[in-house]
Amino acid sequence: MKILLLGGTKDSTNIIEHIKKNYDAYILTTTTTEYGAKLAKESGSDDVIARPLLKNEIIEIIKKENFNLLIDATHPFAEHITKTSVGIAHELKMPYIRFERPTANLENIDTSHIHYVNSFDEAGKLIADEFVEGNILHFAGANTMEDILKYVSVDRFYPRILKVESSLEKCEKLGVDPSHIIPMKGAASLDENLELIEKYGASAMITKESGEIGGVIEKIEAANKKNIAVIMIQRPKIDGLNKNNSVSNLDELDIKLQNFF
C-alpha cells in the first residue's frame, strides 16, 4: 500500500506512527518546511518532500509512483491545499481521506475573554478599534501576519513563529524587529503562555481555532488568568469536501483504512 500524506502537523506525525505500527504501508509525506519534514521522518515516514507543491506536481508524483491513497492531514486553516487535494482525488478517481482535527471542547472553560472573528483582516480591525493599549501576541503563524499589520503598529506586534528562513523573511519584509520574534517549537504550555503575556506586556493574543492539539485551551486559560483578550479566528468551511471522506481521530481513520488493507 502506497500512501501520499499531506502533512506538516502534529496530527500527521501521529498518523504516520499509527500506520507504520499497524499496517504494511509505504508513506511519502509532503510538508512546507524542513522542520515539518524532519518530524515526519522521525515519526517513520519512508520519504519526505519539504517544500510547497503545486497541484500538477502532486498529480505527477501520484501517477509516477502509483500511490493508492491520498491522506490530507494539513492544518484546519490550510484551506487552499485541502481544496486542491479534494480536486486531485476527484480528478484521479483515487481514494481520499481528510483528517480534520476536532475543535476544542470549551464546555468547562471560561470563554468570556474570547472575541470570535472570521478572518485575520477582521482581527486586525478589531484590535485597532478596541485594543489600542498594550502589545499583541500573534500565535497564528507567519503567513497571517500581514493582514494584522495593515491595522496594528508593528511596534506592538510580537509573533510566535518557527524560526525558518521563509518566516524570518516575511518578518523582515513586514518590518518586524528581530527582538519581537518569539521562537516556536510545538504548542506552548499554560506556564509558557503566562510567561509570554507578562514578558511582552500583552493586552491581547491572536490565535486560530486550531483544536486542543494546537494548544488553544492553554492559551485561553492563560488569557483568563492575566485578564487579556483572545482574538480567535474561526475555521474556514471547505467547499467541495465530502464529510463522508473526513475523520477526526485514529479510530475513525482505522475504519477507513480497513477498506484498503
Question: What are the pLDDT digits (tens) for 159-183?
Answer: 999 888 889 999 999 999 999 999 9
| Same domain, residue pair 205 and 247 | no
Residue 220 belongs to a domain with what CATH number? 3.40.50
| Same domain, residue pair 54 and 86 | yes
| Same domain, residue pair 54 and 23 | yes
| Same domain, residue pair 88 and 176 | no
Query: Measured between alpha carbons, how far is 224 from 137 in angstroms, rounded to an integer?
Result: 15
Residue 90, domain member (yes or no): yes
Domain range enclosing 244 = 2-102+238-257
Rg of the chain taking only CA atoms, in angstroms: 19
Half-sphere exposure of 227 (CA within 13 A, CB side): 0
Residue 241 pLDDT: 74
Residue 237 pLDDT: 80
Residue 101 pLDDT: 85
Q: Is 49 strand, coil or helix?
A: strand
Residue 17, domain member (yes or no): yes
Q: Phi and psi of 150, rounded to 5°?
A: -70, -25
Count CB-CB contacts under 10 A for residue 232: 23
Residue 72 belongs to a domain with what CATH number? 3.40.50.720
Residue 209, domain member (yes or no): yes
What CA–CA distances, in Å, run from 83 to 32, 35, 211, 237?
16, 24, 20, 10
Low-confidence ranges of the chain (pLDDT < 70): none
Q: Which residues contact 38 (CB under 8 A, 6 or more apart)?
A: none
| Same domain, residue pair 75 and 134 | no
Q: Supply 54's cell numbers.
A: 503545486
